[in-house]
Amino acid sequence: MPLGTNILSATDAAKQIASGGLTAEKLVEACLDRITAREDEVRAWSHLDANKALAEARARDNEDPKSALHGIPIGVKDVIDTHDMPTEYGSPIYQGHRPAWDAACIALLREAGGIVLGKTVTTEFATRHPGKTRNPHNLAHTPGGSSSGSAASVADFMVPLAFGTQTAGSVIRPSAYCGIVGFKPTFGTINRTGLKPLSDSQDTIGLLGRSVADIALLTSTLSSLKLQNIVAEVRSATAPRIGFCHTNLWDLADTATHSALEDAALCLGRKGAIVKEIQLPASLVEATSAQEVINEFETWRALAFERYEHASKLSPALTKRLARAGTRARADYDVAQVLAKDGRLQLAEIFTKFDVLLVPAAPGEAPEGLDFTGDPIFNQLWTLMHVPAVTLPVFNGPKGLPIGAQIVGPNGEDGRTLICAEWISRKLSE
């Protein structure tokens, strides 16, 4: 376990910086020391400039606080543009590429006094071809993808918060594998300008941290949602109505995941929550397969330049996927979008009876090996539905690796979903 300022939560560190008990420079120094000690093994970063990060921290220390996030260092997944450091999208096509701009979420972060510590490793264009990152809990296992470096760096106490993105399961799944909190907000909650697109109707900028409160702090800063007092709100919140949803994919999860979620449902019921098992309607079951159709149809077009001009620099895995994606017919895409729209209506009806759903975050612990980042099958539906989802690191599997619970909320109810997630996390940790 690392010892030092780098283990502070973002919320606690921000309070200490605001009160004068800690400087941003000392916090960044502690994070950089941890990176120096562990990066050769974990391999979470694609770009770091220690001198630049320290200079930015000193500048924050010499000005009045700009927000509750002032002075906090954050990692940025390398599919999100930064004007002052390389953005390579996990591809040799863009080696050394420096955009002339910051993505909107990065500009908003800097405007609020946050510090970009560096760029974290992504899979190739945030698809399935893995990068160099390892799971910090066991270096022989994947950290998940595509937000692999962000998940590993937060889990290993290199940085308190990081940006990720999700088009299928790229925030929720690596957060589960690495034992941290991941948040995929409602579609469009965090502005996507400056994100390298894959699937325009599904791409979502998400956040990774070590507590729900930290996630709420960064979400508030980027979206103007008023979530800063989430801990106080949880204390006064009523116990949530929880739908324990096996989904039609339950058999794809391993027995450890089955047991963990079933035990969680029983525990939460004993703690006062109203917990009922539910089955998804047929329209939502059909919508699960629609996610991949939409994803591939849109990705083939989003990566037109790369596959047309630089086909030789694409990985064999992405080349194969794009070849399949190019056969997707417009008629099939239109049908898939109708299924998605109908599914959202059905899901909204379900949420008139429940505050959140409890579902698997992944099929089990992080798979052994680094060539496969894991199956996003338990995330795809909720991404397609545009609803908020949270991974909670509340279980361990038979190999001693984390197993996450996924909490899914109604479209647009990000605040309430985070409050329920914090309530659930506390009760399961007692």
| Same domain? 154 vs 242 | no
Residues forming a β-bridge with 119 = 47, 76
In a domain, 254, yes or no: yes
| Same domain? 214 vs 248 | no
**Dist. CA 287–CA 261, nearest whole Å:** 23
**Dist. CA 6–CA 159, nearest whole Å:** 7
| Same domain? 181 vs 322 | no
Query: What are the catalytic residues?
Result: 77, 146, 170
Tokens of residue 406, six digits: 């996924």
Contacts of 330 (CB under 8 A, 6+ apart): 297
What per-residue confidence (pLDDT) applies to 2? 57
**Dist. CA 226–CA 405, nearest whole Å:** 25
Beta carbons of 382 and 287 less than 8 angstroms apart: no
In a domain, 359, yes or no: yes
Domain ranges, residue 94: 5-233
| Same domain? 368 vs 326 | no
In a domain, 344, yes or no: no
| Same domain? 269 vs 299 | no
Of 174, 203, 233, which residue sits at a domain end? 233
Residues of the chain with pLDDT under 70: 1-3, 228
What per-residue confidence (pLDDT) applies to 246? 86
What per-residue confidence (pLDDT) applies to 361? 98
What rounded mean pLDDT belongs to the chain? Answer: 96
Beta carbons of 386 and 185 less than 8 angstroms apart: no
CA angle (184 as vertex; 166, 66 as ends), nearest 5? 110
CATH number of the domain enclosing 244:
3.40.190
Tokens of residue 375, six digits: 């199956």
Residue 405 Cα distances to 77, 166, 182, 284, 362, angstroms:
23, 17, 10, 20, 8
In a domain, 343, yes or no: no
Residue 391, number of CB atoms within 10 A of its CB = 32
Q: Give the type of residue at 108.
A: L
| Same domain? 163 vs 148 | yes
pTM > 0.85: yes
Crossing angle of helices 414-429 and 255-270, in 10° steps, is 90
SS3 per-residue string spanning 100-113: CCCCHHHHHHHHCC
**Dist. CA 284–CA 287, nearest whole Å:** 5
Number of folded domains that form the chain: 3
**Dist. CA 24–CA 18, nearest whole Å:** 10
* pLDDT, tens only, 207-251: 999 999 999 999 999 999 988 677 778 877 889 999 999 888 999
Q: Is 324 exposed, middle or buried (0-12, 13-18, 19+ CB in 10 A)?
A: exposed
| Same domain? 34 vs 96 | yes
| Same domain? 326 vs 216 | no
* pLDDT, tens only, 97-125: 999 999 999 999 999 999 999 999 999 99
Radius of gyration, alpha carbons of the chain: 20
